[in-house]
Structure 1
Amino acid sequence: MMMRKILSTALLLLAGICSLPAAASAQSNSFSVDMEAEPHVTVFKEYNLITLDYIFHVVNTTNAPISLIASRTKNELPSPDTSTTVVCWGDLCYDAKQSVYNANLVEPGKSPYCKVTVTLPIGETECANVQMTFGVEFTSESVARDIVACAPTSTTGVDEANLVTGVKIAPNPAAANPTMTLPTELQTAGELSLNLFTIKGAKASEQHFPAGSQSVVVNTSELPNGVYFYQIVAGQKEARGTIVVAK
């Protein structure tokens, strides 16, 4: 059940996946907003789905801490049954149905972590239109940024050298939070991101761990029972597989 395909950077530019360029920044009196030019795309070939991760940098431009807030102010999806939008803001990743997110106290020059994941069927002819609005808590300051995400018409292979095997999960099925033991290639590749997806391709959770971690504990406390696909990314290295939650 391993998914072995992702899109290359060149394909993203040709396939009609649109976003505002990174150079096109927006700024209020207290913060600036930049969106990375290209999303990271993962293909769930066997389920005919893709996920597109858009990264935002919302930077405090003042000389004092401010409380930044975020909300999803537009979420027009072409296929509601198979399309979702999940937002990670600060230390939390929110349920796809939630559109208003907790405030984050941000130091000068810093930005909360912000990722917007759009899931679409491969071959979908209509695009998803998503808008994120950022602001300062208890003020009228706000900046809105739009995402237009379109499904590609074809896929291409990833360099097989970047795909890592040897992740060990115990226990699996997991009645509680299982431990993943990581191969050396992942330990030494950089900071780790662990993503869990449902069998429909919607992101269920996201966790981050420091580089050099020999093992990680998967937080399954808020996940319903079922089969999930995991994706571990460290630098250019990536591992994928399945995990079963059975409480």
Structure 2
Amino acid sequence: MAKAPSKTSNIAMRRQQALASGDPEYQKRRDQLFAAAGEVFRQKGYDGASISDFANAIGIDRASIYYYTSGKEELFQQLVQNATAENVAMVEQVLDSDLDPEEKLRTFIIELLKSYERHYPYMFLFIQEDMARISSRNSAWAKEVRALSQRFDSAVLRIIEEAVQAGRVDARVASPKTISLAIVGMCNWSHRWFRPDGKATAEQIGRAFSSIVLQGILTEPGATP
């Protein structure tokens, strides 16, 4: 005798049908859920957030949340993917702009820090917990984020190579690849200490980072502090 389909499989089927239908009201509600989930993650972090929190944030019961998402992991992954895509668009726009090479580097660093503030804390959670393991995952999400990350890294490298070609960055100090890794690594390490309600805004930190990269921290001997 065949087993009756479970309640979980039924709602998963309904979710897939609703996604495939392109119903604008369904998509609007789903978008509201993802926006609310971002705020829940901001307030409670990944471990502290619950399905009930997401449901309460948009005024539906806990069971109904599964009509819009398979669970917390999907919410987190979609938010990360959206933020990663936004960062790729940002750095590629900077690369294609008419800014001079120095200003491209400065703008990229500032905008990356501002993005981490907008998407706090889930981008930092991704950097801290998942980035090192992303290459071992074979899900569609992992492949998409990996492809986006490669585009991001490529654009950053090209910005630095332009600065080298223009004579604004000395490649004798380090290769463009090493410089790009150093800059992105410096920005990413802010996950250990940055808080949106801290003393300095993301833009202020970004400007400080860009000054460190572009101008260094040492003064000329004998210079007045």
Question: Whose RCO is larger (CA < 8 A, sep 6+)?
Answer: 2
Per the normalisation by structure 1, the TM-score is 0.22
Per the normalisation by structure 2, the TM-score is 0.24
Greater strand proportion: 1
The structure with the largest alpha-carbon Rg is 2
Greater helix proportion: 2
